[in-house]
Amino acid sequence: MARAKKSIKGFKGDLQRRIVSRKAKVGVIGLGYVGLPLAIEFAEAGFTVMGIDIDKRRVNSIRRKETYITDVLAERVANAVDRRRLFATTDYKKIGDVDVIVICVPTPLRKTKEPDISFIIKAVEEIVKYKRRGQLIILESTTYPGTTEEVVLPMLSSKGMSLNKDFLLAFSPERVDPGNKSFKTKDIPKVVGGVSKSSTDVAALLYNQIIRRVMRVSSSRVAELVKLLENTFRSVNIGLVNEFALLCDKLSIDVWEVIEAAKSKPFGFMPFYPGPGIGGHCINIDPLYLSWKARLHGFETRFIELAQEVNMYMPRYVVERVRRKLNEKKMPLKGSRILIMGIAYKKDVNDTRESPAIDIIKMLINEGAAVFFHDPYINKLKINGATLKSKLLNKKFLKTIDCTIIATDHSSIDYKELLKNSSFIFDVRGALRKIKGAHAKKIMKL
Ligand SMILES: NC(=O)c1ccc[n+]([C@@H]2O[C@H](COP(=O)([O-])OP(=O)(O)OC[C@H]3O[C@@H](n4cnc5c(N)ncnc54)[C@H](O)[C@@H]3O)[C@@H](O)[C@H]2O)c1
């Protein structure tokens, strides 16, 4: 017993010293929207980072010093690679060389809308093969409460290794907001919950080296649930405001004006905005991780289900509004030429995962419309077996379009110029809500 205690102390203290002196090597598994910015932060703070990804294209991009994530500038990648602070590989064999392993792999849904944690399991299986004693493992992938303790811990406790004595394990939710110009990885407070106190101590110390504020919580389960509360909060509030938009349409009241005025209240109100639905890898997926776990405990998460229902209806509603408008002009949807502005799931990112714009495009194509898109961040879109290419916006092309739908309001678009050259725009994002004058008649707001 005394020997075991001594060895915990020795390994924890040594790891802490290595972290503070930046001698600790950090492995980041999964170099996507979460993993790459994190790897760069560690590299810029002076750590040597080994990035592991099963996607050869991503690994090769980093080796070529190129970026594939809009928020991470190529020069930051080049700098980290040139200074030998970051190297990327598909090979897990060297995982024993690192002191800390941070897992940032995807956590999607199955077709049945149940959590798919197979990426986490595959990553941990590889870690188990090559791990060594004395490592700290942190899961950052969003998941249901209990995953770290109930799934990851038993897997790591193999080959005679045990928590605290041989390894430490924590969960720390990633809160990065792609496209957000004000808050980057290092500015966003980090929540950390270990499966043991020592795990929390060392994980918090690690993040303290790269992030301004670290908040410790009492367990990995709490940390897991924190993330799900945050994203459920967004999903429910977006659902509420989307329902408000539907109501405002019935009442012929401008929902944007209502929100703008409500926003003037300095307390007790936080603005959320309506739109074409929810996309991306988080807000429409994470709450379902929670409702699944709740069901296992015989509990029904009614807010989550309702928000999902309202948010998922929005693409259909957009199509119906377009149909209504074209009808007024005695034009059928079939054969109409429709331009979708922005197909990323939100502004200023190049990510189309779960984008509601894509649902809208599919519905319009199925109804026989001729559909085009423009997105400054995305060149091509494979849809219904065909490939659409992002159109250049010029006067001649815009004159041929019957209806433009602003599905994603990227900041770099000259909306005034777009409006000037368009016959009719359905502004689903409020991009044109402040426009007045003659051209304003061409706008239909959500
Ligand atoms: N994108 C966001 O805005 C965001 C924000 C907060 C949290 N999250 C969460 O972070 C996690 C990662 O999301 P993301 O957006 O970075 O995903 P992503 O798809 O952009 O990146 C994940 C990467 O992991 C790689 N990968 C998959 N399996 C692997 C394995 N076994 N070994 C090594 N690499 C593997 C993929 O090839 C991919 O490059 C998810 O759980 C997500 O919910 C995402």
Probe target for ligand 1 pocket from 143, 281, 353, with the most ligand atoms within 8 Å of CB: 281
> Taking Cα atoms as reference points, which of 184, 191, 306 lies closest to residue 239?
306
pLDDT number for residue 340: 98
In the predicted model, what is the mean pLDDT of residues 206-217? 97
Asked if 101 contacts 29 with a C-beta cutoff of 8 angstroms, the reply is: yes
* Dist CA 10 CA 339 (whole Å): 63
DSSP class of residue 408 equals S
The pTM of this model reads: 0.92
- pLDDT tens, position by position, 280-330: 989 989 999 999 999 999 999 999 999 999 999 999 999 999 999 999 999
Nearest CA to ligand 1 atom 18: 32
Environment class of residue 199 by beta-carbon count within 10 Å: exposed (0-12), middle (13-18) or buried (19+)?
Answer: buried
Tokens describing residue 439: 């051209």
Bin 48: left if φ > 0, else alpha if -120 < ψ < 50, else beta: beta
Ligand 1 contact via 55 beta carbon (within 6 Å): yes
Three-state SS at 168: strand
Three-state SS at 426: strand
Handedness of CA 237, 238, 243, 247 (dihedral sign): positive
Q: Is the pLDDT of residue 149 over 90?
A: yes
Asked if 392 contacts 407 with a C-beta cutoff of 8 angstroms, the reply is: no
pLDDT number for residue 6: 47
- pLDDT tens, position by position, 345-376: 999 999 999 999 999 999 999 999 999 999 99
pLDDT number for residue 180: 87
Ligand 1 contact via 211 beta carbon (within 6 Å): no
Catalytic status, residue 282: yes
The pLDDT confidence band at residue 2, using thresholds 50, 70 and 90, is: very low
Ligand 1 contact via 141 beta carbon (within 6 Å): yes
* Dist CA 17 CA 22 (whole Å): 8
In the predicted model, what is the mean pLDDT of residues 423-438? 91
In the chain, pLDDT over 70 holds for what percent of residues? 98
In the predicted model, what is the mean pLDDT of residues 46-52? 98
**Contacting residues for 51 by C-beta, under 8 A, at least 6 apart:** 27, 28, 31, 35, 36, 39, 59, 62, 86, 87, 88, 89
CA of 142 to the centre of ligand 1 (A): 9
pLDDT number for residue 138: 98
pLDDT number for residue 436: 84
- pLDDT tens, position by position, 226-238: 999 999 999 999 9
* Dist CA 402 CA 382 (whole Å): 23
Tokens describing residue 395: 């006067």
Probe target for ligand 1 pocket from 174, 175, 346, with the most ligand atoms within 8 Å of CB: 174
**Contacting residues for 234 by C-beta, under 8 A, at least 6 apart:** 272, 283
Q: At residue 298, what is the residue type? A: G
Q: Integer distance in angstroms from the first to the last C-alpha of the chain?
A: 67
pLDDT number for residue 3: 44
Tokens describing residue 159: 């080959």
The pLDDT confidence band at residue 159, using thresholds 50, 70 and 90, is: confident
Nearest CA to ligand 1 atom 37: 55
In the predicted model, what is the mean pLDDT of residues 42-60? 98
The pLDDT confidence band at residue 437, using thresholds 50, 70 and 90, is: confident
The mean pLDDT of the chain is 95
Q: Which atom of ligand 1 is nearest to the CA of 52?
A: 33
CA of 86 to the centre of ligand 1 (A): 18
The pLDDT confidence band at residue 57, using thresholds 50, 70 and 90, is: very high
Residue predicted with more confidence, 44 or 433: 44
Cα-based distances in Å from 278 to 32, 93, 230, 246: 20, 39, 15, 16
In the predicted model, what is the mean pLDDT of residues 9-38? 94
In the predicted model, what is the mean pLDDT of residues 196-205? 98
- pLDDT tens, position by position, 63-122: 999 999 988 999 999 999 999 999 999 999 999 999 999 999 999 999 999 999 999 999
* Dist CA 160 CA 117 (whole Å): 25
Q: Is the pLDDT of residue 1 over 50?
A: no
pLDDT number for residue 440: 85
Domains and CATH numbers, the chain: 2-218 (3.40.50.720), 238-445 (3.40.50.720)
pLDDT number for residue 130: 96
Alpha helices in 215-301 (DSSP H): 220-251, 255-262, 286-296
pLDDT number for residue 4: 44
In the predicted model, what is the mean pLDDT of residues 387-408? 96
Distance, C-alpha 66 to centroid of its chain: 21
pLDDT number for residue 5: 47
Quote the Cα angle for 159-165-170, to 5°: 90
pLDDT number for residue 9: 59
- pLDDT tens, position by position, 328-343: 999 999 999 999 999 9
